[in-house]
Amino acid sequence: MSTTNKPHKLQKKRLKKEIRRERSAKYSISASPLYALKSIHRLAALLRMTVEEVRNVGENPTYRHFVDESVAGKVRKIQEPTGLTLTLHYRFLRLLDRIQRPEFLHSATKDRSHLSNSSQHIGVRAMAATDIASFYENTTTQHLKNFFLGLGWARDISTLMSTALTVEGHLATGSACSPLMSYFVHLKLFERIENLCDQAQVTMTLYVDDLTISGNHATKTLLHQIKGEFKRAGLRSHKDRFAPPGRPMVVTGATPSQDRLLLRNKHRKSICGLLRDLADGDASGRSALEGKLASALQTDPIGAAPLMASFKTTLSRLDEAAS
């Protein structure tokens, strides 16, 4: 940890602890203290900041800009809030997290994850999915302002907070607040899509920008209707996937089958490759291998068991050879 980044990382750690201490999803949005907010003094009190601090962030939010190339083949521009902006984002997230969310939302919600998202589609006959293109970048400052005005906020604090929570006119890709904010800002859109899915009697899940439907009537026609709703909201969806009955489809990192989640073939092949390297005496990938095995056991304990057994056998052989 560099000296330069240490205060920033310590600040993030402290702010995360504040959220973990809270009980999530306590009340409806209309019962939230954020509902019908008219005073910046009240807003500042909720954020446990001074009015001057809130104004300063709203007028001049600060971000650290960098590029993330950790995922092979992908380059992501990251805007991470810093200083008072970081504090405001986490404190606002704390308030958002207290608001109840629907069962279909599996991101940014305690006791739900990408695996709980996948699990909703176990045992189904057909699946379809689409991703919202550049979801954060296409969720604009104006989107946020309209959301706050829809909550009954005064216009001046709607403008101030929509600016405080965005960068270059859109949600920040590196803000802890953005995953939940992106859902609430487009709340009415997702309610319309949920209504379409209820009418078609299909299961719908949402994990940040990844929307999946499954069931007898999870058709390309229904997916086209959903894509139309995104278009009407000023968003675009892409990377459409459709799996007819009997054909597997990856859903947020796992493959739902008739009775359980299965490891992705890509995940299994990566583990097998690292196991071969380790068996050949190359231990440089051991840390990555252990991480992938832990993830595999969480996703598919049955399918991961032989891989874990192979790992333990390989370690035993290496220990014997070294002794």
Compute the mean pLDDT over every residue in the chain, rounded to the nearest whole number. 94
**pTM flag (> 0.75):** yes
pLDDT of residue 125: 83
What's the pLDDT at 23? 79
Confidence tier at 2 by pLDDT (50, 70, 90): very low
Strands 255-256 and 170-171: unpaired
pLDDT band, residue 3 (cuts 50/70/90) = very low
Asked if residues 44 and 52 have their Cβ atoms less than 8 Å apart, the reply is no
Residue 16's pLDDT is 86
CA-to-CA separations, 280 to 275, 284, 321, in angstroms, rounded = 9, 11, 12
CA distances for 276 relative to 253, 314, 319, angstroms: 23, 9, 16
Assess whether pLDDT exceeds 80 at residue 206. yes
Q: Which long-range contacts (CB under 8 A, 24 or more apart) does 293-302 make?
A: 295/267, 296/263, 296/267, 296/268, 296/271, 298/115, 299/115, 299/253, 299/254, 299/261, 299/262, 299/263, 299/267, 300/254, 300/260, 300/261, 300/262, 300/263, 302/260
Domain boundaries along the sequence of the chain: 11-100, 102-136+173-261, 263-322
User: Binning pLDDT at 50, 70 and 90, where does residue 72 land?
Assistant: low
pLDDT above 90 covers a percentage of the chain that reads 87
Note the CATH architecture for domain 102-136+173-261: 2-Layer Sandwich (3.30)
Q: Is the pLDDT of residue 204 over 60?
A: yes
Return the percentage of the chain with pLDDT > 70, whole number: 98
Lowest mean pLDDT among 7-11, 99-103, 162-166: 7-11
- Segment 9-34 mean pLDDT: 89
